[in-house]
Structure 1
Amino acid sequence: MHPRSIKGTLRILAFTSTILLMFASCIPQKEIVYFQNHEDKKGYDNPYDTPKTITEKYILQPNDALLIRVNTANPKLSEFFNAGGSNQNVAATGQSPLYTYPIDDSLYIDFPFVGKIRLDGCTRAMATERIREALIPFVNDAQVTVRLANPSFVALGEVNNRGRIPMGREQVTIFEAVAMAGDVRPFGKKREVRVVRPTPEGSISFFVDLTDKNLVDSDKYYIYPNDIVYIRPMKAKQWGIGESFSFGVFSSMLAMYLTLNAIFGK
């Protein structure tokens, strides 16, 4: 082949490769904007149901820890039943302190002077009632306060803050969870976010679309303790096109083009 033909072919290849990579690195707006109205799109069918309830959906799990306080009309009795759990350095309040009681593998807590209390299948409200009932033989006017001591979820994949993240309460919205995780990175798939949720019958998983406004107030809008939120990478990330594309890949292509031009440009 004539040198000029080789030179022209290589220039075209280098230029075409650069253009293709630049287009591949561009992310369509529909992939990154939150709260879009997808209802006008052809073939759209709202995948979300209206929630029957929002709170008290979380079922207590082994290794959870409960903060418990018992109040009665008799201050001496209150002090007696608030003698402390396994960790007595948590959550002082304006009244008596709340002590930590871990849930063991058999879903029991060991409550002072009462003994083992089984909390299988319990929400926080149900656990409160079971503890109050266990106290009836000792005191019939007990007011029991129960809170989760360690609510948290796990964020994985294309987020800025990966790992176990404290929630502060028993449920947060999926958008609050994403914000706590430092938001989705540029090449994270907002339209296909997997949520893995432990249940007494085993883990379940489902997908949510952060770009779909119908997700708000749906049955999948909330994240609960011990959920795993996984943001998958786009294919462009798998091809090696990432946030450093404009500086890494483009500079490499430019260097290759200049080298070929220097070799065959004469």
Structure 2
Amino acid sequence: MKPLFNSKRILVFLLLPLIFSCSRRNLGYFSNYGDEKLLTEDITLKPKQPQIQSGDLLQITISDANPAAAAPFNRISSNNASSNESSTSSQEGYLVDENGIIDFPILGRIKIGGQTKAEAKLSLTNLLTNYLGNPMVTIRYLNYRITVLGEVNNPSTFLVPSERINLIEALGLAGDLTIYGKRENIKIINEANGVRTIAQLDLNDKAILDSPYFYLQPNDIVYVEPVTARKDQSSLTRSNITLILGVITAASLVLINFR
């Protein structure tokens, strides 16, 4: 007797619901750029200079034509005080307190919170001219970091030594989006001056290149939302899994009986 079903037909029958439940998605970036092989545009967006916030850890180095005169203004780590390393490599960080203030050698408590690095550099330079002939101030972040979470291949918190990073670079550090990442709904979470901002960007739209949130700020969080299929997948309970296993078992029995 010829079997009513064969294994290939039953496999197709079982996969049909999955095939028809999948909708077509745009997985590309900047999809609306068009078909131009070369497109040249003026860059109108300039990265926003971050403001120094409470909790920031800064490396501040003071130099002068007379190194001995500048030395008291550089706070050196006790572990490295006796070494021959340069003051830049052995400097301790200045932690900005909740009021935006740092404790600086000789100058005392200085408020730099809410200023950009350039503004803080100018403020310190003006104060140091009372002590040094030609003071030069260098400021760097020691904890400039961003966090990428959600549907990416390598979610984590990343330090940014260059102190400049955009959304595409951040996603690159995180190993790019998974196929379940919702490209049209990338959330950028920023907290500054007591205000929390949540911006939504669409990777399919080239307009994000001109968004004020395209360049990330220190401590920004990038969250990639999962698509509905991923949410449904993660919501399966043990009873759902048991039901699926039961269907597979029943299909296997049918195959055996018709052989």
**TM-score for the superposition, normalised by structure 2:** 0.77
Measured after TM superposition, the shift of residue 218 of structure 1 is: 3.5
Q: 1:186-215: per-residue Cα shift (whole Å, max 9, x none)?
A: 101111100001111411011111122222
Q: Secondary structure at the match of 1:211?
A: coil
Deviations 1:120-161 (A, max 9, x none): 211111111122223233224211001111110111111122
In the alignment, which residue of structure 1 is the partner of 2:227? 234
Q: Provide the residue aligned with 1:21 in structure 2.
A: 18
Task: Decide which of 124, 127, 148 is 1:131's aligned counterpart.
Answer: 124
After superposition, the Cα gap between the structure-2 partners of 1:257 and 1:135, relative to the gap in structure 1 and judged at 3 Å, is same
Cα distance in structure 1, aligned partners of 2:197 and 2:80: 35
1:24 corresponds to which letter in structure 2?
S
Aligned AA (2:31): Q
Which residue identity lines up with residue 125 of structure 2 in the other structure?
A: R
How far, CA to CA, are the matches of 1:86 and 1:106 in structure 2? Answer: 27
Gaps of 5+ in 2: 36-42, 236-240
SS in 2 for 1:236: helix
Secondary structure of the residue that 2:175 maps to in structure 1? coil
* Counterpart check, 1:63 vs 2:55: yes
1:27, 1:154 → 2: CA distance? 30
State which of 204, 210, 223 in structure 1 corresponds to 2:216: 223
**Secondary structure, in 3 states, of the residue corresponding to 2:222?**
strand
| TM-aligned CA deviation for residue 96 of structure 1 | 4.6
**Given that residues 191 and 208 in structure 1 are in contact (C-alpha distance below 8 angstroms), is that contact kept between their aligned partners in structure 2?**
yes
Deviations 1:210-239 (A, max 9, x none): 122222243232112100000000000111
Contact 1:159 1:231 in 2 (8 A): yes
The answer on whether the counterparts of 1:197 and 1:226 sit within 8 Å (CA) in structure 2 is yes
2:94 to 101, 112, 115: 101
Structure 2 counterpart of 1:153, from 142, 146, 151: 146
Change (3 A) 1:128 1:211: same
State the TM-score, normalized to the length of structure 1.
0.75
Q: Which amino acid aligns with 2:176?
A: D
Q: Deviations over 1:32-60 (max 9, x none)?
A: 111211689xxxxxxxx953x3142x111
Tell me the distance in 2 between the aligned counterparts of 1:37 and 1:16. Answer: 38
Could you tell me which amino acid in structure 1 is paired with residue 55 of structure 2?
A: N
Shift of 1:27: 4.9
One-letter identity of the residue aligned with 1:198: E
Q: Measure the CA separation in 2 of the matches of 1:100 and 1:88.
A: 14
Amino acid at match of 1:130: S
* Percentage of matched positions with identical amino acids: 28
Matched residue count:
237
Counterpart for residue 70 of structure 2: 78
Cα offset, 1:178, TM superposition: 0.2
Q: Is the 8 A contact 1:62 1:107 kept in 2?
A: yes
Q: How many Å apart are 1:17 and its aligned residue?
A: 5.7
SS in 1 for 2:195: coil
Provide the residue aligned with 1:34 in structure 2.
29
Quote the residue 1:143 is aligned against: 136
Structure 1: gaps spanning 5 or more residues? 1-6, 41-48, 243-247
